[in-house]
Amino acid sequence: MNLDIVTYAIPFLLVGAKTTLLIALFGIVLGFPFGIVVGLGRGSKNRVLRNICDSYCAIFRGTPMLVQIFIIYYGLAQVSFIRHNPVLWWLIGEGLNAAILAVVLNTGAYTAEIFRTAFLSLPKGLIEAAEACGMSPWHVFTRVKFPLALRQALPAYSSEAAIVVKESSLASTITVLEITGYAKRLMSETFAIMDIFIITAALYLAMNVVALTALKLLERRLSFVR
Amino acid sequence: KDGVLRIGTEGDAPKFSMADPSGNVTGFDADIANGICAELKLKCEFVVQTFSSLVPSMDSDRFDVIISGLGITAERQKKIDYSIPYATTPLYFVVAKDSPLAGLKSLPEIEKAIEGKSVGVATGTTYAKFIEKRMPGVELKTYDAVTQQTADLASGRIDVAFGDSPTWMDFLATPDGANFAKIDVRIMAMDAPDVLGHGMGIGMRKGNTELKAKVDAALCKMVDDGKVKEASMQWFQDDYTIPCKK
Amino acid sequence: MNEVLKVHELTKAFGSTNVLDGISFRMKEGEVISLIGSSGCGKSTALRCINFLETPTSGQIEFLGQEISVSCNKRGESEIVNASYIRAFRQRIGMVFQNFNLWPHRTVLGNVTVALVYALKMTRKEAEEVALSALSKVGMASFRDRYPHQLSGGQQQRVAFARVLAMRPKLMLCDEPTSALDPELVGEVLKVIRTLAEEGATILLVTHEMRFARDVSNRMIFLQEGRLEQDDTPEELLRNPATEGVKRFLSNVMPASAQRRLATTTTIKG
Amino acid sequence: MNEVLKVHELTKAFGSTNVLDGISFRMKEGEVISLIGSSGCGKSTALRCINFLETPTSGQIEFLGQEISVSCNKRGESEIVNASYIRAFRQRIGMVFQNFNLWPHRTVLGNVTVALVYALKMTRKEAEEVALSALSKVGMASFRDRYPHQLSGGQQQRVAFARVLAMRPKLMLCDEPTSALDPELVGEVLKVIRTLAEEGATILLVTHEMRFARDVSNRMIFLQEGRLEQDDTPEELLRNPATEGVKRFLSNVMPASAQRRLATTTTIKG
Amino acid sequence: MLAEFWILMVERGWALALLRGSAVTIAIGLLGMFLGFVVATPLAVLRWQKVAVVSQLVDSYSIVVRGVPGLLVIYLLFFGSVDMVKTVATAFGYQDSVDNAYPYIVGVIAIAAISCAYSIEVIRGALQAVPYGLLEAAKSLALPTGITFSRITFPLALRLALGGINNVWQMTIKDTSLISVIGLQELMRTAAIGAGITRSPFIFYCIAAALFFGMTAVSQTLFSRAERALNRGFGAR
Ligand SMILES: Nc1ncnc2c1ncn2[C@@H]1O[C@H](COP(=O)(O)OP(=O)(O)OP(=O)(O)O)[C@@H](O)[C@H]1O
Ligand SMILES: Nc1ncnc2c1ncn2[C@@H]1O[C@H](COP(=O)(O)OP(=O)(O)OP(=O)(O)O)[C@@H](O)[C@H]1O
Ligand SMILES: [Mg+2]
Ligand SMILES: [Mg+2]
């Protein structure tokens, strides 16, 4: 690897890393609860709500995120109502906001599936025990269902967190200069494709190792049987 | 390989390199490639690849040359060898018809007026570098594809778009483009060779001097014969040829 | 005395098989009733229907004057009237499950305090005090920081009992609360139940131990294949089985010696 | 008679607490031994150690002449000698769990046949026959196509018993096999166990029902806090408690009437 | 719009190209997923059993592969090996077939390597969630290890893993677009080329999305059916 290129590229990529981190953090912090809510919706008794949540998941899991981000950023921008509504335009007008929105919507769908099955597989008796105490649905959820489901879902969810970090790279297609955005620029400036690519990958890996290790520790902390 | 010249190209650049549904490549780059093959008495074989894998693929001998409108810059020459430049596209700013910028007449005027405005360019191009270097006061936005750049121009996310002439020919003819106009200042590579480079060249593996000599000769012949001009006129209705310096 | 629970024509079917077949009985404050009957006769189902963990197919449950009734609509689905009462019911009805259902992610203390804090809105400190006093009643206070999987079967059962005990429910439904306990502890639980009843709680319990049932309860209800066959004081039921079913069940229940004693009484009466 | 099981100085500690503290006893072919003791004294753990579901901290288990021993190495870890015998042990030792552990994704019949087909290599047809005969011994044959969650507690327990019964193990470890059963069914299980013993099986069972224990077993072993306090015939153990612990346990166990009878015998002896 | 659609798709033949791309996507996606799953299962079991050393290796593999962009996996696998493979192949006179087939092979392997890393976590999580008592029951009945796994552990774990596996599959089928960097014209790349040179990105990307959606809709019904089958015995909820 060429040292010149490395020293030239790293400052740019570090600037990008901040944006990547921002997108990923918001993506996870907002996408996680959102996904759980949708996951609950998919298991709800209300047919309409269930169908809405099911369709949302099918659409966002079934189509490439690149297309989703394009439609959110370029597609919706063609609707003049959205362009003239300050709130909506704030949401999708700025590349960064649109990227976060897309990441949240995308990870929400996957998170929903992970938690739907986790909720489904909880031993029925444990929930009945909570209900039989007269705890409100909210407390049954926060004190029994969620803690148990989380333990089961954590290994699969950790993958989702890593995916969010990586998928945030698609923000570069809508003018947001995160790691990949800078990387693309550096690559075509210097043609040192492999070198820059490897540095980029190392940055993503570093972030993900932190995230995955943190989640692994959390998992260990939470485990109670064997 | 014997008797074959393998050519790496992007395949998704309108007018330059277009892979049709059945895999044939047409466009300005393809014409240049076919011309070279004819000169060297080789059979052309196109390999269509995304931009980011063109260079690594050539390094691992998936093809011999890259003909994909590559701009020649000193920076890139550290990584690959170039043939002589054979063409260059003029660059234009595009703004809304009713914008005060529309009537500007020279580059310095533009440089002053554009302060603080958001400008869209294609990612990693020489002209992106040009804006970055020459007009540090603008808010620069980069796009992977021209269609994205024009979409943002149309939806008002950027005030000014900067790009090569063929792009604008197409865009200004569309319904979206009807509200926009070129600023009538033609910017050529020669205006700022330090950033804009020296025009388009054919990329080759480093140190492949034998091939470079052959390709240079063939290119020079094509320039002199007017073959390059012919292709340029066909695709761009303009002559982008750079004369061959002997 | 006030009436606490009124069960009227309670019916439950799983698919086409009727598990409960129109059961009716009433419970007064401070009463202890044992639900007996052979395995699979519907005892657990009856308890579960009373706090609507299982939706009955039809029938009414009245608890402290509030009534929830279930009727079968035209499409054959059960419809609950006054479903909004269910939460209120459950807050004052405790249930000890046959298979304990302790929450594996919480310690013994945690298992007992959760409901106190979140259903009864106690402060954490209050809750812990109440929980510890309930735990010590069943001899489990020293295990407060263990997790359920670190307990023996009988220990788990006692925690499950304490979990409900701590809530001081008006009505306690106990599904074989002593099945995993040794006789010494059964005696302790018996004492606790008696005290509760004296303090005004009402207890409906399922048990297989006739002696325990006789010692603890004011009335015994015998179920057979989902039908209520007899509802009487322990003495009456043991002495005067109303149906063949009860008679046969009791003949197996009592050990040789007790049977002999029973036999004498019955022959005297007969 | 042949010796089937020899347990020697069996010790088990969880962390720093000793749950089993050097237990030794022997079982001959056809013998039925009841393991009694108060909740949490280590009965389940003892059974689980015998077929190595729990790794003992130290001790030896000899089963039909094969010996597996566990010793504590320098780093304080347990080392099993002859671990390869474990499979062989388990093939001939059946275990009925305190909490049943039926496989939820298999029907009643499926739960019973799996081991027959894959551990004993029966054909599917044979296996079903054997399974059905085991199930009908506990009155569960008609439930063959139900899933475990569709069964009552007692029904599940009987299936769990049948699952082991069908394997015709040489040694059966039963952890409270009748806790969820009504007295009638307890009697049935008692009969089944007696027949098994007559046919040469050896049975070690944990139970809280003294009467059942006395009726079914040749010997009773009393555990207290992991120590073996007495190992005697039921008559001896009931009449002559060897230690204070046994005496106290028994005083709670026997109902007033039985206690009186016991008291008489002891006073006569004393 | 409709007229434009007709011209692009039918007259200029893009519909066929997109279908060809879909075929490549489906073939590589299915093969990659299948291979990945088959390899992931034993690795997840080793990880679950906490087999010394192996377990740490599996962990590192899964963290690294999940942690780096998929593109790098493909780049390294392909550009790291193609030279050598080519030399070998040329020596044996198979240069042409290797030139044509090698990208596909690497494509499948790369996709499998990625989906494997994700599957490991999903399966491991599911295995851990199987109640231990149920496995003890199998042990105490002396079921052979293989049978215990195939008849008890795996079916129970599969039920818990299904949602996660579905996620991995949906992700994998879309990850096939990464193989375009080694010159394979799968669905997304075909759409990108079409979008670029016809300057109608909206139409092309929407069609690509619809095709992907179609594929996953088919797989979704299969997954739903499997879920119903695996939930038998757990009561309706
Ligand atoms: N994993 C564990 N960690 C710590 N202590 C444990 C663990 N498992 C069991 N114990 C303790 O070991 C002791 C013996 O447990 P065991 O299950 O053998 O009791 P038992 O005699 O079967 O009681 P019961 O009749 O209540 O089932 C209990 O005090 C229990 O708390
Ligand atoms: N989900 C179900 N589907 C079909 N039948 C069921 C279901 N749940 C329970 N049953 C049946 O209903 C009957 C009553 O069950 P219940 O659990 O109330 O019995 P029980 O009286 O508590 O018995 P035990 O003393 O054995 O616990 C049993 O015959 C059982 O097989
Ligand atoms: Mg029951
Ligand atoms: Mg026990």
Give the tens place of pLDDT for each residue, B154-190: 888 999 999 988 888 888 888 888 889 999 888 888 8
Q: Mean pLDDT: which of A190-199, C188-197, C244-253, D154-163 is highest?
A: D154-163
Contact E205, E195 (CB under 8 A): yes
The 8-class DSSP code of residue D79 comes to E
E174 touches chain A (CB under 8 A): yes
Output the residue whose Cα is nearest ligand 1's atom 18: D42
E5 domain-assigned? no
Tens digit of each residue's pLDDT (9 = 90 or more) over A114-156: 999 999 889 999 999 999 988 899 999 999 999 999 999 999 9
* Domain-located, residue D71: no
Which CATH code for domain A3-223?
1.10.3720.10
Mean pLDDT, rounded, for C16-36: 93
Under an 8 A CB cutoff, do A114 and E167 touch?
yes
Residues B164, B127: contact at Cβ < 8 Å?
yes
pLDDT for D23: 94
Q: Pick the residue from chain B with its C-alpha nearest to E192.
A: B12
**pLDDT above 70: residue D265:** no
Say what the pTM is.
0.91
Over the stretch A145-193, which tens digit does the pLDDT of each residue have?
999 999 999 999 999 999 999 999 999 989 899 999 999 888 888 888 8
Q: C-alpha angle D29/D56/D116, rounded to 5°? A: 50
pLDDT in tens, C110-131: 999 999 999 889 999 999 999 9
Given a contact cutoff of 8 angstroms between Cβ atoms, the answer to whether D180 and C180 are in contact is: no
D185 alpha carbon to ligand 3 midpoint, in Å?
14
Phi, psi of E69 (to 5 degrees): -60, 140
Confidence of residue B202 (pLDDT cuts 50, 70, 90): very high
Specify if E29 maps to a domain. Answer: yes
From CA C30, how far away is CA C197, in angstroms rounded? 5
Q: How far apart, in whole angstroms, are the C-alpha atoms of residue A97 and residue D52?
A: 59
DSSP C121-159: ---HHHHHHHHHHHHHHTT-GGGTT--GGGS-HHHHHHH
Q: Look at A175-184, B216-225, E84-93 and tell me which has the smallest mean pLDDT.
A: E84-93
| pLDDT exceeds 60 at position C266 | no
Kindly state the DSSP code that residue C16 receives in the 8-state scheme. Answer: T
User: Is C158's pLDDT higher than 70?
Assistant: yes
Residue C201 domain-assigned (yes or no): yes
Classify residue D125: in a domain, yes or no: yes
D267 against A141, higher pLDDT = A141
Q: Which A-chain residues 44-83 have CB contacts (< 8 A) with chain B?
A: 74, 77-78, 83
Task: Please name which of B92, C183, E69, E191 lies closest in space to residue A202, comparing C-alpha atoms.
Answer: E69
Residue C254 lies in a domain: yes
Q: What is the dihedral of CA D162, D168, D173, D175, to 10 degrees?
A: 10
Q: Is any Cβ of chain B less than 8 angstroms from the Cβ of A176? A: no
C202-206 and C32-36: which strand pairing? parallel
Are C33 and C218 spatial neighbours (Cβ–Cβ below 8 Å)? yes
pLDDT of residue C246: 87
Is residue C102 helix, strand or coil? Answer: coil
Q: How confident is residue C269, by pLDDT bands cut at 50, 70 and 90?
A: very low
Q: How confident is the model at residue C270 (pLDDT cuts 50, 70, 90)?
A: very low
> How far apart are the C-alpha atoms of B34 and B47, rounded to whole Å?
14
Nearest alpha-carbon partner for D41 in D246, D270, D209 = D246
D83 near E CB under 8 A? no
Q: Do D158 and C39 touch (CB under 8 A)?
A: yes
Q: What is the largest CA-CA distance in chain C?
A: 60
Answer yes or no: is pLDDT of D200 > 60: yes
DSSP-assigned beta bridge partners for residue D93: D171
Q: Which domain holds residue D133?
A: 32-52+90-264
Q: What is the dihedral of CA C208, C213, C218, C222, to 10 degrees?
A: 20
Which CATH number belongs to the domain containing residue E199 in this structure?
1.10.3720.10
Q: Using alpha carbons only, what angle is made at residue C65 by residues C76 and C34, rounded to the nearest 5 degrees? A: 80
E strands of chain C, at which residues? 3-14, 17-28, 32-36, 58-63, 66-72, 78-81, 93-96, 171-175, 202-206, 219-224, 227-232
User: What single DSSP character describes residue A145?
Assistant: I
Q: How many domains does chain D have?
A: 1
**Residue C229 to residue C17: CA distance in whole angstroms:** 19
Please tell me the predicted confidence (pLDDT) of residue B196.
Answer: 87
- Sign of the torsion angle spanned by Cα atoms A155, A160, A164, A165: positive
Confidence at residue D260, expressed as pLDDT on a 0 to 100 scale: 46
C21 belongs to a structural domain: no
For B142, the closest of A185, A190, A193 (CB atoms) is A185
> Residue C176: left if φ>0, alpha if ψ -120 to 50, beta else—which one?
left
Nearest atom within ligand 2 for CA of residue C226: 14
Question: Model confidence over D140-155: pLDDT tens digits?
Answer: 999 999 999 999 999 9
Ligand 2: residue of C18, C19, C229 to mutate (most ligand atoms within 8 A of CB) is C19
**Domain membership flag for residue D150:** yes
Mean pLDDT of all residues in chain E? 89
**Cα distance between residue D59 and residue D12, in whole Å:** 9
Q: Which domain holds residue E157?
A: 23-230
Give per-residue pLDDT as tens, B31-48: 999 999 999 999 999 998
Work out the pLDDT band at B103, boundaries 50, 70, 90: confident
Instruction: Give the pLDDT confidence of D4-38 residue by residue, as tens digits.
Output: 999 999 999 998 889 999 999 999 999 999 999 98
Q: Where are the domains of chain A?
A: 3-223
C59 within a domain of the structure (yes/no): no
Number of domains in chain E: 1
Buried b (16+ CB within 10 A) or exposed e, E210-222: ebbbebbeebbee
Cα three-residue angle B20-B22-B28, rounded to 5 degrees: 35
3-state per-residue secondary structure call for chain B: CCCEEEEEECCEECCCEEECCCCCEECHHHHHHHHHHHHHCCEEEEEECCHHHHHHHHHCCCCCEEEEEEECCHHHHCCCEECCCCECCCEEEEEECCCHHHHCCCHHHHHHHCCCCEEEEECCCHHHHHHHHHCCCCEEEEECCHHHHHHHHHHCCCCEEEEEHHHHHHHHHCCHHHHEEECCCCECHHHCHHHHECEEEEEECCCCHHHHHHHHHHHHHHHHHCHHHHHHHHHHCCCCECCCCC
pLDDT reading at C261 higher than 70: no
Q: Please tell me the predicted confidence (pLDDT) of residue B1.
A: 59
How many angstroms does the Cα of residue B98 sit away from the middle of ligand 4? 87
E199 contacts B14? CB cut-off 8 A: yes
* Chain segment D63-102, per-residue pLDDT in tens: 998 999 998 777 777 888 888 889 888 989 999 999 999 9
Assess E156–D contact: CB distance below 8 Å, yes or no. Answer: yes
Task: Tell me: pLDDT of E10 over 80.
Answer: no
**Ligand 4 centre from C144 Cα, in Å?**
19
B touches C, CB cut-off 8 Å, minimum 3 pairs:
no
Which ligand 1 atom sits nearest the alpha carbon of residue D175?
22
Residue with the smallest CA separation from ligand 1 atom 1 is: C150
E133: nearest Cα among A93, D97, C102: D97
- The answer to whether E and A touch (≥3 CB pairs < 8 Å) is yes
Ligand 1 pocket test, pick from C151, C181, C184 with the greatest ligand atom count within 8 Å of Cβ, gives: C151
Sheet bearing B17-19, strands edge to edge: B12-13, B17-19, B25-26
Does the structure show a pLDDT above 80 at C259? no
As a whole number of angstroms, the distance between CA C247 and CA C250 comes to 5
Q: Indicate whether C65 belongs to any domain.
A: no
Q: How many CB atoms lie within 10 A of CB C136?
A: 13
pLDDT band at A52, cuts 50/70/90? very high
The helices-and-strands tally (H runs, E runs) of chain E is 10, 0
pLDDT at E167 over 70: yes
**Which residue's CA is the closest to the ligand 1 atom numbered 13?**
D40
Q: Which ligand is nearest to the CA of C154?
A: 1
- E153, E188 Cβ separation under 8 angstroms: no
D53 touches chain E (CB under 8 A): yes
- Which of D5, D65, D3, D28 shows the shortest CA–CA distance to D218? D28
In this structure, what DSSP letter does residue E220 have?
H
CATH code of the domain containing C117: 3.40.50.300
The answer to whether D45 touches D12, Cβ cutoff 8 Å, is: yes
Q: Whose CA is nearest to atom 3 of ligand 2?
A: D150
**D44 CA distance to ligand 4 centroid (A)?**
4
Report the pLDDT averaged over residues B24-36.
Answer: 92
